[in-house]
Amino acid sequence: MFKSRKLTFSATLVASVAAGVISSAAYAQDYNIGAPASAQEIAGWDIDIRPDGMGLPVGSGNALDGEETYEVFCASCHGVFGEGEGRWPVLTGGEGTLSDDRPVKTVGSYWPYASTLFDYIRRAMPFTAPLSLDDQQVYDITAYVLYMNDIIEDDFELSHENLAQIKMPNEDGFYIDDRPDVSNPRCMVDCADPETMMLQSSLAGVTPIGHFVEGADAPAASHSDQHDLEASKEAERKASITGVEIVAPVAKETSAMSAAAIAGEATYQAACGVCHTNGLAGAPKVSDANAWSERLKQGTDLLITHALEGYSGSAGYMPAKGGRADLSDEAVTNAVLFMVESQQ
């Protein structure tokens, strides 16, 4: 049995070697794996722009039109003047500070090429809805950010033809890596003078070390704790002014919800939670009953309309469908019901 199988195998082997199937190394690496990428497939994904203008879509825009678009989509995080809200990035100012003690690196003071701004806004902003702006909006907003940095005039028509010619103030401020830039001999004895050595200790109270030093003066260990801390300080401050009692948010059992609301949870997690779970961009947190009590008084229908069409109140900017135009009206409606019923 065994013997005959072996015989058959070597017979096949001899036959295939004779046919050149196994022995050729070149043939072995002719993988022929993968499919041709069509021009259409490439066009959909090829979003990159280069300083020489390669990749810019045909079109144009200006700061006058960009102002409103910027305020709607960007100002909630980056500030009306690009000054940056809270810890969000600053987009303007800082000229002449690069060699200061505390340099301020912004589009205007640091970025070498305008193409990078167009490219980055299109690929990554607004933070919560990347690739949601059309080319016209990206040209307008790019022009507006350049205008805020005194790089172009407010009526300058920025286009695929002239963007590459814009000279950024710090274009010549960069050079190619020239490390190694230090050389430390491998000294073994008398390498430093103990007489002149000074010791500097770390700052206390800036490192989250609560996990190994009991009772340490340590800051929050997670972003949500940090936000809760900031929120409770803010609530205490407000309460001390108004005398209103602070009510701790309570998590709701999903079993008490309607079928539509339960169905909406998945949409919520996928499309809304990014803002509404953590309170990003001013969004009312679902877990924060106080943030919802006034809103609920408007009635669920209006809340649904605001979620579908977008809404800009005093807290921030709520993009239509949370910036997810691909969602059906029903999915968004159910997500609102999930959010509303989480309050009851």
Partner 1 sequence: MTTPSTQELLQTMQGASEHLSVNDRREFLRRGMSYVAGAAAVGGTTIASAASLTSNLPPNEPQWGRQLGTGVVENPYGMPSRHEAQVVRRTVPWLTAESISSISMSPLQDLKGIITPNGLVFERYHAGVPDINPDEHRLMIHGLVDNPLIFTMEDLMRFPSVSQIKFIECPANGGMEWRGPQMEALQFTHGMLSCCEWTGVPLKVLLDAAGVQTEGKWVLAEGADGAHMSRSIPIEKVLDDTLVVYAQNGEMLRPEQGYPLRLLNPGWEGNTSIKWLRRIEVGDQPWHHREETSKYTDLMADGRARRFTFVQECNSVITSPCPENPILRKGFIEVEGLAWTGRGTIKGVDVSFDGGVSWRPAKLKGLVLDKALTRFSFTTQWQGEPWLIQSRAYDDTGYVQPTLAQLREQRGVNTIYHKNSIHTWQVAPTGEVKNVQIT
Name which of residues 29 to 88 contact ligand HEC (CB under 6 A). Answer: 73-74, 76-78, 88
Here the contacts of 326-334 (C-beta below 8 Å, separation 24 or greater) are: 327/267, 327/271, 331/264, 331/267, 332/267, 332/271, 332/304, 332/307, 332/308, 333/260, 333/264, 333/304, 333/307, 333/308, 334/260, 334/261, 334/263, 334/264, 334/267
* Smallest separation (angstroms) from ligand HEC to the CB of 249: 16
Contact (CB, 8 A) for 324 and 267:
no
- The residue among 3 and 179 lying less far from partner 1, judged by its C-beta, is 179
* Smallest separation (angstroms) from partner 1 to the CB of 58: 20
- The residue among 162 and 305 lying less far from ligand HEC, judged by its C-beta, is 305
- The residue among 156 and 331 lying less far from ligand HEC, judged by its C-beta, is 331
- By CB under 8 A, is residue 203 in contact with partner 1? yes
Cα–Cα distances (Å) from 334 to 207, 268, 270, in that order, read 42, 8, 13
Name which of residues 28 to 47 contact partner 1 (CB under 8 A). Answer: 31, 33-37, 41-42, 45-47
Number of shown-chain residues binding ligand HEC (CB under 6 A) = 51
- The residue among 110 and 156 lying less far from ligand HEC, judged by its C-beta, is 110
- The residue among 262 and 280 lying less far from partner 1, judged by its C-beta, is 280
Name which of residues 91 to 150 contact ligand HEC (CB under 6 A). Answer: 91, 106-107, 117, 120-121, 125-128, 141, 145
- Residue 88 tokens read as 């969000």
Cα gap 138→126, rounded to integer Å: 10
Annotate 113-137 with DSSP letters as a single string.
Answer: -HHHHHHHHHHH-STTSTT-S-HHH
- By CB under 8 A, is residue 183 in contact with partner 1? yes
Q: Which does 208 bind (CB under 5 to 8 A by kind): ligand HEC, partner 1, none?
A: partner 1
* Smallest separation (angstroms) from ligand HEC to the CB of 121: 4
Cα gap 268→337, rounded to integer Å: 10
Sign of CA dihedral 26, 29, 32, 37: negative
**Max Cα-Cα span within the chain:** 95
3-state SS class at 158 = strand
Cα–Cα distances (Å) from 98 to 84, 106, 115, 173, 176, in that order, read 18, 10, 21, 10, 18
Cα gap 152→63, rounded to integer Å: 9
Choose the stretch contacting partner 1; rule: CB under 8 A; options: 107-115, 287-295, 303-311, 327-335.
107-115
* Smallest separation (angstroms) from ligand HEC to the CB of 295: 4
Choose the stretch contacting partner 1; rule: CB under 8 A; options: 27-35, 141-149, 239-247, 257-265.
27-35
- The residue among 30 and 326 lying less far from ligand HEC, judged by its C-beta, is 326
- The residue among 52 and 68 lying less far from partner 1, judged by its C-beta, is 52
- The residue among 41 and 329 lying less far from ligand HEC, judged by its C-beta, is 329
* Binding residue (CB under 6 A) for ligand HEC from 115, 303, 337, 342: 303
* Smallest separation (angstroms) from partner 1 to the CB of 8: 28
Choose the stretch contacting ligand HEC; rule: CB under 6 A; options: 171-179, 192-200, 221-229, 333-341.
333-341
Cα gap 73→209, rounded to integer Å: 38
Burial status of residue 73 (CB atoms within 10 A of its CB: 0-12, 13-18, 19 or more):
buried
- By CB under 8 A, is residue 266 in contact with partner 1? no
Cα–Cα distances (Å) from 82 to 93, 107, 238, 311, in that order, read 8, 10, 28, 22
Binding positions for ligand HEC, rule: CB under 6 A: 73-74, 76-78, 88-89, 91, 106-107, 117, 120-121, 125-128, 141, 145, 271-272, 274-276, 280-284, 295, 298, 303, 306-307, 311-319, 321-324, 332, 335-336, 339
